[in-house]
Amino acid sequence: MKHDRTQPKPSIPDIVIGRLPVYLRTLRLLADEGREVTSSQELGEHLGISSAQIRKDLSHFGEFGKQGTGYNIDFLCRQLQKILNVDRIWPVMLVGAGSLGTAIANYQEFESSGFRIVSVMDEDPQKIGQPIGIGLVIENFATLQRRVQELGVQIAVMAVPAHAAQRVANQLVEAGLNSILCYAPITLAVPAHVRVEYIDPVVHFQHMTYYLRAE
């Protein structure tokens, strides 16, 4: 099985795409509560954004609701899963088996959202061979290239220290991965065909403190 990264679909703004997973998450929570129908008004109130924005975002992809009757939650969930390509399970490689990597490996929400951690890698000989997550054993990062091919992985999560992050990213790109979720507090230099998303709690904290003052 060969995987290729497609070009971004040019007509739909990336910021709209970024909101779809939040819509999907909210709809699935409503479905878990036994709800069958919702509206852009209700979604907007849940999410703190305008109902017009939600309708506009969804209109890029077709007609999902009828005037006056709202959205069928189950139907809209399945449509959003198709649009986001998560109507399947994507294998994910996790690099870094420290405290954070262990928490990520244990995270229960991935599978129901379209993702499965299929391999956890580290460079530390003390860690290699130890069990981690759900039925996994920490593997030697030196086997990356082979394992990426065996497992057909395109997506990696990096839970490594900042000082190691660029080197690890280079190796991930060389091994053929094209999508990286980076928990290291650094902006990575990668080729144009590789997409990187970042998670850094400090960025969120500092964004919040801008609006605070201590007396």
Binding residues among 48-107 for a second copy as defined by CB under 8 A: 48, 83-86, 88, 90, 92, 98-100, 102-104, 106-107
In the complex with a second copy, which residue's Cβ is closer, 110 or 141?
110
Q: How far apart are CA 71 and CA 122, in angstroms?
A: 45
Residue 160 interacting with a second copy (CB under 8 A): no
Please say whether the dihedral angle defined by the alpha carbons of residues 162, 167, 170 and 176, taken in this order, is positive or negative: negative
**Strands of the sheet with 70-72, listed across from one edge:** 37-38, 70-72, 65-66
In the complex with a second copy, which residue's Cβ is closer, 142 or 203?
203
Q: How far apart are CA 185 and CA 197, in angstroms?
A: 12
Shortest reach from residue 140's CB to a second copy, in Å: 22
Residue 99, number of CB atoms within 10 A of its CB: 8
Identify the residue whose tokens are 């144009």.
192
Letters for 103-142 (x = contact with a second copy by CB under 8 A, - = none) are: xx-xx-xx--xxx---------------------------
Residue 209 interacting with a second copy (CB under 8 A): yes
In the complex with a second copy, which residue's Cβ is closer, 74 or 200?
200
Of 51-59, 65-73, 135-143, 194-202, the segment contacting a second copy by CB under 8 A is 194-202
**Strands of the sheet with 115-122, listed across from one edge:** 139-140, 115-122, 90-95, 155-158, 179-182, 195-198
Residue 197 interacting with a second copy (CB under 8 A): yes
Number of residues that bind a second copy (CB under 8 A): 72
